[in-house]
Structure 1
Amino acid sequence: MMNFIRDNRSMCDADFAGANAHAFYDPPSTLSNTDKFISNTVLPALRNTCPGKPLFITESGWPSCGGQVGAGVASVNDELVALQGLNCAAQSVNLYGFECDDQLWKSDDNETSFEMWVKIQGFVDSC
């Protein structure tokens, strides 16, 4: 993802710069640093490539089931911990969660399980 941002300055022709940013799919990022992945890796890359543009994280989350990628483990507990980190990251950038509901029509186990709504009822802000 970072190479795409760095190597495609045409992204900056828009009114804003944005990236889909999933620590789960970007080893060596881990569950415990989803907020730092956004603030220390993704946002600096966007700022460097598109200086002065408003920044958006257009999609982020963590799967609740499916396979493992590097240190990323897909589980409901890990998804909740990751969402807490993303909630903290969202205090410094517009960040959109992926997805409101599970997408059971998708063929990849991880891609089907990003649903947040039911899982985070009672979610407490812990930043």
Structure 2
Amino acid sequence: MPLEARQAPVLRPILTKAEDDALSCGPDAAAPPAGELSSSETARRLFRQFRYQVMSGPHETLKQLRKLCFQWLQPEVHTKEQILEILMLEQFLTILPGEIQMWVRRQCPGSGEEAVTLVESLKGDPQRLWQW
């Protein structure tokens, strides 16, 4: 089959219900329909869960990864500082202990500082983790 006749694979993350719930924002958040890149969070998930496609080869794989990265970080819309804030917030959330991470993600912090404030608010009331 000629190279141009191949179609790029459909990129859809496979999430468990727990992962989906943990990564959604707000107390009653539901995940967007599969394949829809309507939110930054969905685009982030697609980027982070993308895996190398042997059939596609390295060039096509890198092209797809770049496309997913642009959909997530939106460099045509965000400044360098905003992109750095997005990356720092994601990494901060990733290194938090499991229960705290899930609770903070549910609050949808818009910045690293907001996430820190949320974590610090738990110091005085650890039972709050179990109320969501």
Q: Which bin holds the TM-score, normalised by the shorter protein?
A: under 0.3
Bigger radius of gyration among the two: 2
| Structure with greater proportional helix content | 2
In the superposition, the TM-score normalised over structure 1's length comes to: 0.27
| Structure with greater proportional strand content | 1
In the superposition, the TM-score normalised over structure 2's length comes to: 0.26
